Structure 1
Amino acid sequence: MSEPRVFLLPDLGEGLTEAELVAWHVSVGDEITVDQPIAEVETAKSAVEVPSPYAGIVAELHGKPGETLDVGKPLISVTPLGSVVAADDAAPAPSPAQPEVEPAETELVEPKPESTEAEAYREEEKAGSGNVLIGYGTPGGHGVARRTRSRKSSVAVADPAETTPVSLSKEDELALLRTRVPGKLGAVISPLVRRMAREHGVDLGDIAGSGDSGLIMRRDVEAALRTTAPAATPEAKPEATPVAEPVEAPERPVESVEAQGRDARTGLAVSARTPVRGVRKAVAANMARSRSEIPEATVWVDVDATALMELREGLKANGVEVPGLLAFIARFVTAGLKKFPELNTRIETADDGSQEIVAFDGINLGFAAQTDRGLVVPSVRGAEKLSARELDAEIRRLTQVARDGKATPAELGSGTFTLNNYGVFGVDGSAAIINHPEVGILGVGRIIDKPWVVNGELAVRKVTELTLTFDHRVCDGGTAGGFLRFVADAIENPTSLLADI
């Protein structure tokens, strides 16, 4: 049997150097195929299923669920399927009473057909599957089809020259290391939820799901474990505890309040300790960096949005498909950024401490989206080229993929300016933190009825508050105020900019 091939944890996205292993989808001894999902990992960007670039038998799983793995470190070892077939099919040594080979059978007995999986593996080795990992696919042109059974003999005799695996070159291993794995639905995976519930004895029928349409999610099972599982004690363990298979979901023992200790400063018992990782870890690091590096300033203005609301109602009455309010405001923001490009820039600092302002030929408009995994900021690429309807369609699409955990690193990390609609939370204003390394973020509060002076008379109008937080290094208050006023005027007189809607 040849040496197993080691698959290294690939680069999961720009700037990401680690990932938390959520669960294995395979176990030692399983036969796997090229492109088969082998593990679920969670990064600061999204939840991802990692496919295997190799076919064969799982020899070793490098890591346990719940562990944080570094990019470039071993993830799984796979013994090539051809070498396993050769070892399994090899005939035992003949006894003295039995001839080694009967010449008549040598010519007449057909060889045992090789397995479909082995044949597929060899074909994929020769050509590369092309769809395992984004950008590279499986290595092509380096594999050698290996035959483990003579076509004219009933006795399987492996040819060492044919069964010796072809090891990947350093260039191929580097290609695998640098490949990008497509983000897949990871926040909710029904088999994972069912497996967790089964392994921990949780009755899914007793759980009220917190997902859409009452869908039971992983956090629901974990919450049930925290409220029902007793504290583990050494006496409760049987004398012979079976070794847990690596495919099992991470065991999260529920500690009692006494076991977690008492806080020295407050004197209160500690009820829970939650590791900061994944999306929450990335958000915390980015917000802390923004506060420490960016000298920000904030300006705000109340805006009469009555005309915009009436425009949307009129379009609805005519049976026209109407974009959401955020799409209209996004259209005004992109027009404002073209007029005030200083807010669509980034500051870069060189190794010698010198700085420069980097301007962009285009606008990638990010928008804050609340998901089950935390706050993420997908961005509409080339937003300045889109109409309000096109912006609405893209915003809806990105919101859905972000909530499903399918957003790619490019969709989550390429923004040049951020729009934040915190009005959906029922608040009027917020001193938002700039999404580093951008230099500005515009917040939109809720739209409510307020008294407003119109043509010298008091009236009830639909009013919202716009708040702009900007990096004072790239522009002064005049530029920031000009941009904010431009967007406000567009909301109050929407037809001036919505000829294309």
Structure 2
Amino acid sequence: MNARRFRLPDLGEGLTEAEVLRWLVGVGDSVAVDQPVVEVETAKASVEVPSPYAGVVAELHAAEGGTVEVGAPLISIAPAVPVPTAGEGSGNVLVGYGTAQARRRERRARRPAPAAPVNGTASRPLVISPIVRRLARDHHVDLTALTGTAPGGVIARRDVERAIAAAGAPVAAGPSVPAAAGPSVPAAAGAGATAVAGVSATAAAEVSVPAAGGGLPPVGERVSLRGVRRSVADRLTRSRQEIPDATTWVDVDATDLVETRRRTLARDPEHPVGILAFVARFVVAGLARYPDLNSRVDVAAGEIVRFAGVNLGIAAQGERGLVVPVVHDAHRCNVRELHARIARLATDARTGALGVADLTGGTFTLNNYGVFNVDGATPIINHPEAALLGMGRILDRPWVVDGEVVPRKIAQLSLTFDHRVCDGGTAAGFLRFVVDCVEHPAEALALI
């Protein structure tokens, strides 16, 4: 009988393709409805695709490492005997979602699937992060032989790195720069090339080293620009190409805010609240007063689209690179609720557990680059949003208060905005509102 061809379904907002990370079935394998058949990585997340059909795998239409566009053939499944009855399949389902039976697996808990045979031979290792999988593949580490140390037995990056170290192989950390007076490595006989410290004689023979005084050094490594890294590059490039951005900043006295947080923690130590949650609450209140910054430009329609609510993006550094998980309906949250949701998203970003829904729909971004121990920045707007607020580290600095120089806790807030949606006066008004809230948090929290 003819095999039914399952095409890669719509992956969500702005996603048009996915990379095949790992096939979970092979040609000739039997599959059930909603059984995961392949793991793919998009620019947003790594997810398993469930089969809408039951039957026998007739053909895999893409190789591992290949890219498949939305709507392109993914897998063909021939009906088993007897032929499945009508209604057995769930149709082309969205990646990460299946029928009601599959949806009962709660994604947010990120519980790894129990080990199950793959093609009847090996077990499926408990791995969530594609970075961990790639590291293991590059260093020939058998994931099925490892025991995960992360919660739930998930294999973490540190587990793979320990296995690499135990095998005596160095963990790749990018190309190294040889010291000026480092030891030389003899070139291979007849190679006609000068060896470079840190590069084997064989490898040195394969790259020509330019004569002193000109040219580039030898290529140490080429890294594919794909997945999240490519998505970030495309989005930032598009932002700079399309958005006429401007940045304004203010040094803010956060002394009272730090004290407010301390008192809040003292009253309820079981439910801590971070500084970022307070700032997030002030940002949401500010956007209600300055809606031009909670918008985007629809170039085709010639319109500025203002949103009625705030989906607050929180820039975070995860295993898969820079991501911006979103607190949806942030305008409905108080400070404690914002803290809880930001903390959950930050944890999922570090472990690679963010889903597509967590990474889409943002209307404004908050970036706490103070965690990198820097004071300020001129961040690039997260296209197609209209603005981004950044916060630097909080430091003790001399500050003039009532004519006296006293030590205060000072931070810098910077606002980068799309000059098409507003002028400097609006941007300054929003920034000053947030600054005033930070400097007088008790009064602000009583009013917003």
TM-score interval for Structure 1 and Structure 2 normalised by the shorter chain? 0.7 to 0.9
Q: Secondary structure at the match of 1:15?
A: coil
In 2, the alpha carbon distance for the partners of 1:212 and 1:199 equals 16
Change (3 A) 1:220 1:439: farther
Change (3 A) 1:390 1:33: same
1:306 alignment partner, one of 255, 260, 263:
255
After TM superposition, the structure 1 stretch with the greater mean CA deviation from structure 2, 211-220 or 408-417, is 211-220
Q: Secondary structure at the match of 2:87?
A: helix
2:87 alignment partner, one of 115, 121, 126:
126
Change (3 A) 1:472 1:226: closer
2:276 alignment partner, one of 326, 330, 334:
326
1:444 aligns with 2:391: yes
Residue pairs, 1:118-267, within 5 angstroms: 122=84, 125-126=86-87, 128=89, 133=94, 137=98, 187-188=128-129, 196=137, 214-216=158-160, 256=203, 259=206, 266-267=215-216
Work out whether residues 9 and 95 of structure 2, in 8 Å CA contact, stay in contact via their aligned partners in 1.
no
1:464 alignment partner, one of 411, 423, 443:
411
Shift of 1:34: 1.4
Shift of 1:24: 1.0
Q: Secondary structure at the match of 1:12?
A: coil
Shift of 1:319: 3.2
In 1, the alpha carbon distance for the partners of 2:74 and 2:171 equals 29
Shift of 1:217: 7.2
Change (3 A) 1:216 1:75: same
Aligned twin of 1:372:
319
Work out whether residues 26 and 39 of structure 1, in 8 Å CA contact, stay in contact via their aligned partners in 2.
yes
After TM superposition, the structure 1 stretch with the greater mean CA deviation from structure 2, 386-395 or 126-135, is 126-135
1:339 aligns with 2:294: no
Aligned twin of 1:54:
53
Work out whether residues 11 and 94 of structure 2, in 8 Å CA contact, stay in contact via their aligned partners in 1.
no
Work out whether residues 236 and 382 of structure 2, in 8 Å CA contact, stay in contact via their aligned partners in 1.
yes
Residue pairs, 1:343-422, within 5 angstroms: 343-350=293-300, 355-422=302-369
- For 1:46, give the aligned amino acid: A
In 2, the alpha carbon distance for the partners of 1:478 and 1:294 equals 18
Shift of 1:489: 0.8
List alignment gaps of at least 5 residues for structure 1: 84-120, 140-181, 228-254
Shift of 1:441: 0.4
Work out whether residues 56 and 79 of structure 1, in 8 Å CA contact, stay in contact via their aligned partners in 2.
yes
Change (3 A) 1:198 1:425: closer
Change (3 A) 1:219 1:469: farther
Work out whether residues 444 and 465 of structure 1, in 8 Å CA contact, stay in contact via their aligned partners in 2.
yes
Aligned twin of 1:435:
382
Structure 1 or 2, whichever has the larger Rg, is 1
Q: Secondary structure at the match of 2:416?
A: strand
Shift of 1:407: 3.0
In 2, the alpha carbon distance for the partners of 1:394 and 1:429 equals 25
Aligned twin of 2:176:
none
Shift of 1:491: 0.6
Q: Secondary structure at the match of 1:275?
A: coil
In 2, the alpha carbon distance for the partners of 1:449 and 1:420 equals 21
Aligned identity (percent) is 51
1:81 aligns with 2:44: no
In 1, the alpha carbon distance for the partners of 2:27 and 2:132 equals 19
Q: C-alpha deviations, 1:423-464, integer Å up to 9, x for none?
A: 000000000001111111000000111111111111111111
- For 1:35, give the aligned amino acid: D
Work out whether residues 187 and 372 of structure 1, in 8 Å CA contact, stay in contact via their aligned partners in 2.
no
1:317 aligns with 2:266: yes
Change (3 A) 1:195 1:395: closer
Q: C-alpha deviations, 1:61-100, integer Å up to 9, x for none?
A: 11211111122121112121225xxxxxxxxxxxxxxxxx
Aligned twin of 1:149:
none
Shift of 1:23: 1.1
- For 1:440, give the aligned amino acid: A
Aligned twin of 1:70:
69
In 1, the alpha carbon distance for the partners of 2:246 and 2:170 equals 44
RMSD across aligned positions (CA): 3.8
Aligned twin of 1:13:
12
Shift of 1:17: 1.5
In 1, the alpha carbon distance for the partners of 2:134 and 2:302 equals 49
Change (3 A) 1:269 1:382: same
Aligned twin of 2:198:
none
Aligned twin of 2:119:
none
Work out whether residues 131 and 138 of structure 1, in 8 Å CA contact, stay in contact via their aligned partners in 2.
no
In 2, the alpha carbon distance for the partners of 1:20 and 1:219 equals 26
Work out whether residues 366 and 390 of structure 2, in 8 Å CA contact, stay in contact via their aligned partners in 1.
yes
Tell me which protein shows more helix as a share of its residues. 1
Work out whether residues 434 and 469 of structure 1, in 8 Å CA contact, stay in contact via their aligned partners in 2.
yes
Q: Secondary structure at the match of 1:82?
A: coil
List alignment gaps of at least 5 residues for structure 2: 101-106, 113-126, 174-201
Change (3 A) 1:219 1:288: farther
Shift of 1:56: 1.7
Shift of 1:129: 5.4
In 2, the alpha carbon distance for the partners of 1:54 and 1:130 equals 8
Work out whether residues 55 and 79 of structure 2, in 8 Å CA contact, stay in contact via their aligned partners in 1.
yes
Of structures 1 and 2, the one scoring higher in RCO (CA 8 A, sep 6+) is: 1
Work out whether residues 365 and 379 of structure 1, in 8 Å CA contact, stay in contact via their aligned partners in 2.
yes
Aligned twin of 2:189:
none
User: Aligned residues, how many?
Assistant: 390
